[in-house]
Chains A and B, each alone.
Chain A
């Protein structure tokens, strides 16, 4: 495994509550990504980071925010969770951000009731 830890691994929360997912890496990679995985949609990019305090939106960023205050940590926040945000969330890292592989964590399964 690429030294990526996601926490929590499982979470159940209620609609309207804030939720923060954490991704921690030990590889000192510059680039970090948040994806969500849903049946029939594959993996879709939510947000990514290309350095400390440098982030940008992905394909499905509405309802999500991110922060990166240290190289090793990338946080994903759902300000007010909705049932449509029930999903499996994956963090990924890459060394260069160019044409190089992304390496994924083992995911966080989030259920919004």
Chain B
């Protein structure tokens, strides 16, 4: 079956540095990609999404890059802040029902 995996289960970065979280997927038919942030005790919160006809999309302090050739997705967070500490999930469509990766715990060091 299809799978979505994150490259590192944990990532520590210094406050103010840029963070890069990576994700690989296996399904060539995936045409929708999305990143979520999850804080302890809360549900996943939508960060940014990208469709398969794009290879880059930018939001506020975040950029998602999509490389369909190697089935790789990354989330870049600029000037990482303490409030960015959380678990980050990538997920793929098509819907109904996204397929989620297992998550990367991002820790921001002072």
Do A and B pair up? The answer is yes
Cβ-defined contact, A90 with B102, below 8 A: no
Q: Give 1 or 0 for each of A14-45: 1 = CB within 8 Å of chain B CB.
A: 00000000000000000101000000111111
> Please, how many angstroms separate the alpha-carbon atoms of A104 and B46 in the complex?
9
Q: Which of B61-69, B73-81, B93-101 contacts A (4 or more CB under 8 A)?
A: B93-101
A-B contact count (CB 8 A): 62
Cβ-defined contact, A106 with B42, below 8 A: yes
Tell me if B45 is interfacial: C-beta within 8 Å of chain A: yes
Cβ-defined contact, A90 with B97, below 8 A: no
> Please, how many angstroms separate the alpha-carbon atoms of A59 and B36 in the complex?
20
Tell me if B34 is interfacial: C-beta within 8 Å of chain A: yes
Size range of the chain B interface in the assembly: 20 to 34
Cβ-defined contact, A48 with B41, below 8 A: no
Q: Within the complex, what minimum Cβ distance (angstroms) separates B66 from chain A?
A: 13
* Chain B positions within 8 Å of A45 at CB level: 96-98
Contact A58:B43 (CB < 8 A) given known A41-B102, A99-B51, A101-B49: no
Cβ-defined contact, A90 with B96, below 8 A: no
* Chain A positions within 8 Å of B91 at CB level: 43
Q: Give 1 or 0 for each of B16-50: 1 = CB within 8 Å of chain A CB.
A: 00000000000000011010100001111110010
Which one of A50, A103, A106 contacts B96 once the chains associate, using CB atoms below 8 Å?
A: A50
* Chain A positions within 8 Å of B44 at CB level: 43, 90, 104
Cβ-defined contact, A103 with B97, below 8 A: no
* Chain B positions within 8 Å of A104 at CB level: 36, 43-45
> Please, how many angstroms separate the alpha-carbon atoms of A8 and B34 in the complex?
28
Contact A99:B97 (CB < 8 A) given known A42-B89, A43-B89: no
Tell me if A97 is interfacial: C-beta within 8 Å of chain B: yes
Q: Of B49, B98, B101, which is in contact with the most chain A CB atoms at under 10 Å from its CB?
A: B98
> Please, how many angstroms separate the alpha-carbon atoms of A43 and B6 in the complex?
13
* Chain B positions within 8 Å of A33 at CB level: 96-97
Across the A-B interface, the 4 shortest Cβ-Cβ residue pairs:
A104-B43, A45-B97, A99-B32, A43-B100
Extra contacts besides A45-B98, A59-B97 (8): CB < 8 Å = A33-B96, A33-B97, A40-B102, A42-B101, A48-B96, A97-B96, A103-B46, A106-B42
